[in-house]
Amino acid sequence: MTRLGLALLLASLGTGAFAETRYLPWPEDGAAPRPYIFTQQHNVENRPDAEGRVQLIRKGYPLQVQLPGNPAIWSFRAEESENVAYRGRTMVYSPNRIAGTESLLVFDLELSPEVRDGDEGRITFTTDQLPSALERVVPGGVFVLRFTVIDPG
């Protein structure tokens, strides 16, 4: 076993106090929380294999949805989304990362300020130009992510 492997094993054994904790505590080092990152594989719309796949999202953490773009141009559907706010988009050039696409569209979102522990929500994006490589995971060009808010505070 390498030193790194041994260190990881010892570190994981040292977290026994968290073994009974349902959700790990907030970061105490003052660092900003890392975003939850979701991709086309998290889609639950029109997918029989996605039944009941609800994500748990901790209150106060940023969200990102990363979807393959060009030719697909994704639109955030505010009227079909719940308990989230759209913050902006970045495009990263990444040709053929997914067959038939040229870029990765990174959407920044956040939970609505009024959400509480146990609230449910939904994030929805659509496109009219879905590459055939994505038809199985995003049927009809509709991406939906369902979530439940957790606030272990």
- Whether 48 shows a pLDDT value over 90: the answer reads no
Q: What is the pLDDT of residues 55-74, one digit of tens each?
A: 999 999 999 999 999 999 99
- Confidence at residue 79, expressed as pLDDT on a 0 to 100 scale: 97
Q: Is residue 37 part of a domain?
A: yes
Q: Is residue 15 part of a domain?
A: no
Q: Is residue 52 part of a domain?
A: yes
Q: Is residue 7 part of a domain?
A: no
Helix (H, G, I), strand (E, B) or coil at 36: strand
Q: What is the CATH number of the domain that holds 100?
A: 2.60.40.2020
- Whether 21 shows a pLDDT value over 80: the answer reads no
Q: Which domain holds residue 48?
A: 31-150
The number of distinct structural domains making up the chain is: 1
* Alpha carbon distances (Å) from 11 to 1, 17, 72, 111, 120: 15, 12, 43, 32, 34
How far, in Å, CA of 43 to CA of 144, rounded? Answer: 5
Torsion (CA) 31, 34, 35, 37 in degrees, nearest 10: 170
pLDDT bucket at 152, cuts 50 / 70 / 90: confident
- Confidence at residue 3, expressed as pLDDT on a 0 to 100 scale: 58
pLDDT bucket at 77, cuts 50 / 70 / 90: very high
